[in-house]
Amino acid sequence: MNTPRTTLYKDKQNAKLMGVCAGIADYTGVDALWVRLGAVFLLFALSGMIIPLYFVAGLLLNNKPAQLYTDPEEQKYWQGVRQSPKRTAREIRARFKDIDRRLAEVEAYYVSSNPRLNAEIERLR
């Protein structure tokens, strides 16, 4: 499941320094401000050990492709996939069940209101 949309990138378009916090924010769906505040908190909590980790991540992470998402709804969908793939699969399964139910209702309506079609379907069974 390692597609370009499920990979962590640094986000140079929304970057303040190297784009690592913006990339983490894009990956998780959390606002970049909160990720940056968390990084500042970790700076003090870990006595500066976050600084080398930040620069290593800035050097190792690839830049986010410019046209990764076509619209904000697609971006939100892929953030959900990254956060909880099982939940996303459950939601898609529920959508398909709903579509199947609605299609069965449409079929039942047209078959019940059209006796010739109903007879044709019964003859095929």
Domain shared by 101 and 49, yes or no: no
Q: What is the pLDDT of residues 87-121, one digit of tens each?
A: 888 888 999 999 999 998 888 877 677 778 778 87
Domain shared by 89 and 63, yes or no: no
Residue 51 has pLDDT above 80, yes or no: yes
Q: In 3D, which of 11, 30, 28 has the Cα closest to residue 20?
A: 11
The tally of domains found in the chain comes to: 2
User: What pLDDT is stored for residue 3 in this prediction?
Assistant: 67
- Residue range of the domain that includes 79: 1-83
Helix (H/G/I), strand (E/B), else coil: 10: strand
Residue 57 has pLDDT above 80, yes or no: yes
Domain shared by 69 and 88, yes or no: no
Here the tokens at position 12 are: 């140079």
Domain shared by 8 and 34, yes or no: yes
Please indicate whether residue 49 or residue 99 has the higher confidence score (pLDDT): 99
- CB distance 81 to 88 below 8 Å: yes
For residue 26, with 0-12 CB atoms within 10 Å meaning exposed, 13-18 middle and 19 or more buried, which class applies?
A: buried
Domain shared by 19 and 74, yes or no: yes
Domain shared by 73 and 108, yes or no: no
